Chains A and B, each alone.
Chain A
Amino acid sequence: MHEMSIAMAVVGQVEEAAAKAGGVRAVTSVRLQVGELAGVVPDALAFCFELACVGTLLEGAELIAESVPGRAGCATCVDDWAVGTPPQLCCPACGQATAELLSGRELQIVSVRWEDGPARDRTPEPVSEER
């Protein structure tokens, strides 16, 4: 269960980026890429992320995890395939160990959505009755 460490690393990096940017009041969502072979359980990560965010700029932020399928390619056969789980990393065509992993190990913060600048005016903006 290292998802808590992963979640804390995500929170730490987003906080750092927010501090550099300056004026960030709240982070509302974080988009992650999680590869099939990254060794991270998305549900466990979501659970830990919620806890890791408490008391930080990210409190209540949504974690959007995009799963990245594992694919490998063979240098000899110029072929690529979905590696599956457990992964098949020998080339299914020639059986050689000349494979290269093309994707599947990602554990990447793609983007964040945050609120910055001066706090919004409390005066309600005029909105039409239909809304």
Chain B
Amino acid sequence: MCRVVDLQQAVLAKNETTAHALRTGMAARGTTVINLLSSPGSGKTALLEGELLLARERGVPVAALTADLATENDARRLARSGVPVKQVLTDGLCHLEADMLGRHLEGWLPDSTRLVFVENVGNLVCPASYDLGEALRVVLASVTEGEDKPLKYPTAFGLAQLVVVTKTDIADAVGFDEPAFRAHVEQVNPGVEVVLTSARRGEGLGVLLDRAMAVADGEPAHEPVMGRRHRGHHHTDGSPQTNGSHPHAHPHDCADDPGQSAYVTSAGPSAQPRA
């Protein structure tokens, strides 16, 4: 018997559901998750070192989790700030997923933690597709990476709630065109804030911490156009589908298999998109 079954499930529905639960759970315990994305070598770790140290000086309980394919170098660097730091080795996986993050946070994250910074795997493609249950998604680009980076990686920059430019101390030397960069960010993500930083000179130090604290205090984060869902569109954010159809399977006869009829009964497969 051959049959066609309508499933209508978001491919990443499981990750979205886990991320949604993680976000709710974190909010309930008073912790805000900040997801940092950038290409390798953009300066996520250097920026974070400064922010963690500052948070400690200000008495804000923070923690950091850093993901890499290999080595514990980043965790060692971040641990110098004196805040709880955990290295996640992805064993070659190019991105973090919500259940991986959840597993690593469970039993490790101190109860009093106000902010937890997650340094994602250095990669602007894959991590962009995975919601980690963060309350603030930050995308970084260094001045050496070219002004068109936001156009080359529209999903990453298009879903950012804050864009951080790093290494501005060498902006002149590399001829960084700030207005062009800002225009490109605006094209894919109108209205998102762009912050200039130099970990070496201390420019913009504390801005990330301030923005994260604002979100932790309940200020709404920027809502990117790319992340907004049109009503009637298939939602993948853990909320119920609003396309008007029931999320169940409709078995049909296979059009090219007329000799076989499908059972069209209530015993048909139940294909709920979420458990």
Contact = CB atoms under 8 A, between A and B. Distances in A.
Interface in A34-50: 37-40
A73 B269 contact: no
A61 B9 CA distance: 18
A102 B4 CA distance: 27
Contacts, number: 149
A103 B188 CA distance: 15
B275 to A, nearest CB: 9
B270 interface: yes
Interface string B11-28: 111110000000000000
A94 to B, nearest CB: 11
A86 B151 contact: yes
Contacts of B4: 111-113
A82 interface: no
Nearest to B229: A101
B144 interface: no
A6 B142 CA distance: 29
A85 B154 contact: yes
A51 B259 CA distance: 31
A90 B154 contact: no
Contacts of B11: 6, 9-10, 13, 32, 107-109
Contact of A108 (B3, B5, B8): B8
A20 B269 contact: yes
B230 A73 contact: yes
A87 B95 contact: no
B268 to A, nearest CB: 7
Residue with the greatest number of chain B CB neighbours at <10 A, chosen from A88, A101, A115 = A101
A124 interface: no
A111 to B, nearest CB: 5
B240 to A, nearest CB: 15
Nearest to A115: B2
Interface stretch (B121-129, B174-182, B196-204): B121-129
B191 interface: yes
A87 B150 CA distance: 10
Interface in B1-57: 1-15
A125 B14 CA distance: 43
A90 B7 contact: no
A9 to B, nearest CB: 5
B60 interface: no
B188 A100 contact: no
B271 interface: yes
B10 A20 contact: no
A114 B230 CA distance: 32
Contacts of B14: 9, 12-13
A55 interface: no
B5 A38 contact: no
B254 interface: yes
A-B pairs, 4 with minimum CB distance: A21-B269, A97-B190, A2-B126, A117-B1
Interface of A: 1-2, 5-6, 9-10, 12-14, 17-18, 20-22, 28, 32, 37-40, 72-73, 85-90, 96-97, 99-103, 105-117, 125
Given A20-B270, A117-B1, 11 more contacts: A2-B95, A2-B126, A6-B129, A12-B14, A13-B7, A17-B249, A21-B249, A37-B155, A38-B155, A101-B226, A114-B3
